[in-house]
């Protein structure tokens, strides 16, 4: 038994089709009312948990953008339904709600794949944000599957070379210059800083994707992402220390799925050369080897370049970060000799600007500077643009 309600437009997050499931009329009504205050939607109410354990979850997962499930009336049936909907990889974003959340039930819901856990009485701001995220997920997952998304890997021969700063700003620039779907994956585990650098927060991380690689597809990946205000999508590293053993197969699956949904997949690999047997290092990838002008950095880079050449697979370009043309400690001839070839890219040194960017969580690409122009030149090369760059478009990072 169900009824339909048409909701007026009060939040610009895109039209959503929503299923509200609760045997309790009061709880169901509270959910419908809260939704009606936030979003233009078509809501279908279900007065009982579906009795058909096979067909109903598939119908719900494919016919609705959001499925909101009452966890209080019958927690066991509700968790089973939630798990069934999440396991079929339909388009629906699964959400749970409760007037008196039980910590164990909440944990089971999140493990099953619930994207949100809402508490009654509903907070209008919280539910509005949840629906905006659901709209964003739908936009990521909806377009046709791609097969040839390009993988661009940032790798450093030594920690502290600024690889994360470059990867983040390169990804922002690439999303803007290409005007195509771009994803940044933080594989600098266990504690990557891409999300901090970009000023975004995410409830999910790279670890969630890798640990669930067996059921990972484009729809599931979309639920783990957060969108930066430049248009870039980000799969963040964990916000807390996570000790996890990750297989090469899991990383390959993550990249395969990412390339099905995105035109460009930028990866911050830190200094993790142990990933050399994954798809990150195959012939279709481009590796940016980031180094600085210093004895230890150049020595490590020389060793890494020898290994990259010995594998015979990946294309790579050398990026000298924090480059100061006025420095005479090591001359250009010695640098080229150490690196075995001239560097393709040189990113100027500006310590004050980088620290300001990191402390304020703003992108270098927001300003016109020698650093931003050098990074923009890198991304325009990838896009095949050879004309004069247009004036940068500003964007708000915390809108």
Asked if pLDDT for residue 132 goes beyond 70, the answer is: yes
How far is C-alpha 120 from the geometric centre of its chain's CA atoms?
30
Mean pLDDT in residue range 184-213 = 87
pLDDT score at 360: 78
Q: Which residues are paired to 226 by β-bridges?
A: 234
For residues 345-353, give the mean pLDDT.
Answer: 86
12-21, 250-259, 380-389: lowest mean pLDDT where?
Answer: 12-21
Residue 13 is predicted with a pLDDT of 45
pLDDT of residue 203: 81
Residue 324, classed as helix, strand or coil, is coil
Q: How confident is the model at residue 147 (pLDDT cuts 50, 70, 90)?
A: low
| Residue 45 near residue 17 (C-beta atoms within 8 A) | no
Q: Alpha helices of the chain — where are they, by DSSP H?
A: 25-36, 55-63, 75-87, 103-112, 124-141, 163-178, 194-198, 206-211, 218-223, 248-261, 295-311, 332-339, 351-360, 370-383
Burial of 327 (0-12, 13-18, 19+ CB in 10 A): exposed
Chain segment 58-67, per-residue pLDDT in tens: 667 667 888 9
Q: What is the pTM of this model?
A: 0.67
Which of 131 and 181 is assigned the larger pLDDT? 181
Q: How high is the pLDDT of residue 3?
A: 44
- 28 near 78, Cβ under 8 Å? no
* Domains contained in the chain, CATH given: 4-141 (3.40.50.2300), 150-383 (3.40.50.300)
Digit-coded pLDDT (tens) for 167-189? 999 999 999 999 999 999 999 88
Structure tokens at 189: 């585990």
Nearby residues of 35 by Cβ (< 8 Å), 6 or more positions away? 7, 18, 20, 41, 43, 68, 127, 131
């Amino acid at each position: 038994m169900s009824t339909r309600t048409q909701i007026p437009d009060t939040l610009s997050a895109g039209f959503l089709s929503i299923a509200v499931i609760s045997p309790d009329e009061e709880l169901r009504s509270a959910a419908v009312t809260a939704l009606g205050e936030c979003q233009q939607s078509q809501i279908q109410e279900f007065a009982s948990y579906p009795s058909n354990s096979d067909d109903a979850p598939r119908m719900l997962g494919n016919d609705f953008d959001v499925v909101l499930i009452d966890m209080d009336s019958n927690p066991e049936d509700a968790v089973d339904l939630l798990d069934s909907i999440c396991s079929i990889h339909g388009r629906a974003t699964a959400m749970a709600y409760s007037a008196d959340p039980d910590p164990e039930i909440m944990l089971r819901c999140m493990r099953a794949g619930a994207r949100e856990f809402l508490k009654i009485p509903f907070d209008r701001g919280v539910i509005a944000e949840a629906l905006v995220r659901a709209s964003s997920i739908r936009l990521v997952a909806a377009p046709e599957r791609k097969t040839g998304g390009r993988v661009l890997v940032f790798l450093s021969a030594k920690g502290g070379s600024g690889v994360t700063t470059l990867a983040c700003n390169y990804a922002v620039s690439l999303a803007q210059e290409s005007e195509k779907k771009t994803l940044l994956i933080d594989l600098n585990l266990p504690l990557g800083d891409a999300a901090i650098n970009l000023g975004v927060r995410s409830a999910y991380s790279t670890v969630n994707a890798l640990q669930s690689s067996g059921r990972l597809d484009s729809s599931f990946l979309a639920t783990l992402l957060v969108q930066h205000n430049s248009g870039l999508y980000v799969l963040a590293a964990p916000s807390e220390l996570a000790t996890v053993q990750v297989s090469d197969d899991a990383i390959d699956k993550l990249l395969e799925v990412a390339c099905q949904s995105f035109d460009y997949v930028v990866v911050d690999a830190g200094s993790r050369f142990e990933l050399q047997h994954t798809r990150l290092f195959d012939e279709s990838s481009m590796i940016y080897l980031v180094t600085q002008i210093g004895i230890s950095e150049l020595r490590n880079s020389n060793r890494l370049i020898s290994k990259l050449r010995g594998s015979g697979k990946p294309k790579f370009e050398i990026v000298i970060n924090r480059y100061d043309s006025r420095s005479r400690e090591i001359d250009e001839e010695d640098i080229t000799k150490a690196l075995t070839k001239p560097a393709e890219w040189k990113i100027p040194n500006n310590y004050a600007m980088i620290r300001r960017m990191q402390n304020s969580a703003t992108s270098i690409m927001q300003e016109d500077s020698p650093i931003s122009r050098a990074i923009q030149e890198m991304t325009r090369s990838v896009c095949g643009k050879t004309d004069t760059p247009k004036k940068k478009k500003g964007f708000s990072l915390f809108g």
